[in-house]
Amino acid sequence: MVIEPKQTTVAYRCPVCGNGVVSAVGIFSLGGDMLKLKCECKGSELTVVPTSDGKVRLSVPCLACPKPHNFLINNTVFFGKDLFVLQCPYTDVNICFLGARERVCRELERTELELLDMLGEENLGKMCKAQGKDEEVFTDPQILDIVTFVINDLLESGDIRCNCEGGVCHACDAEVLDDGIRVTCRDCGASTLVPTDSLIRAHDFLNADSLTLD
């Protein structure tokens, strides 16, 4: 009989670039040392430290506060839950997710959409200033795919406006740039940039029912 070692998945959202950071943590990888989960942008890290009395201490970066929050969790809870969520004590925003990888990733995505619906540009700016950093520029390949899909859908439904006769674009090119997708009418040359450097702006575009090319 093979006994599987205890393992859980830990995830948080980087307050600097907005990306989700997901990693598996095993009881053997913890050992007696500190484990660091770092974002690829190198702007934040979550630390996991086992204590001598069978608990786990976490220091979690926060989307709303300038400093990380500290949590002390029982070892059984840390490794034994399918999904366990830690919140910012001041805003009730979910900032850390523990449990089975599939459920953790699903919850991370769900709370991202909640944040996008809840926060406007103004509030997001305030959160970034609280971190002492401006909003970083990044482009998620998944966002590019979704934005491209929306553009094609608007084109097929005749909802892309331009300077052509009748004001409707019938054919366009979509050029992927560092900060977005530039949509250009093939006939009149009118164009506009759909930003993908911000989750907020990209999410707003997903709800668009038309697109105007200047």
Q: What is the pLDDT of residue 206?
A: 67
pLDDT exceeds 50 at position 110: yes
| Residue 6 structure tokens | 């205890």
- What are the structural domain ranges in the chain? 7-130, 141-212
Kindly report, residue by residue over 62-83, the tens digit of the pLDDT. Answer: 887 888 899 988 888 888 889 9
Cα 118 to Cα 44, 93, 155, distances in angstroms: 23, 11, 29
Per-residue confidence band for 3, with pLDDT thresholds at 50, 70 and 90: very low
Q: What pLDDT score does 137 carry?
A: 37
Rg (CA), the chain: 22
Q: Which pLDDT score is estimated for 203?
A: 60
pLDDT confidence bin for 124, thresholds 50/70/90: very low
Higher pLDDT, 13 or 123: 13
CA distance linking residue 109 with residue 75, whole number of Å: 26
By the 8 A CB rule, do 96 and 58 touch?
yes
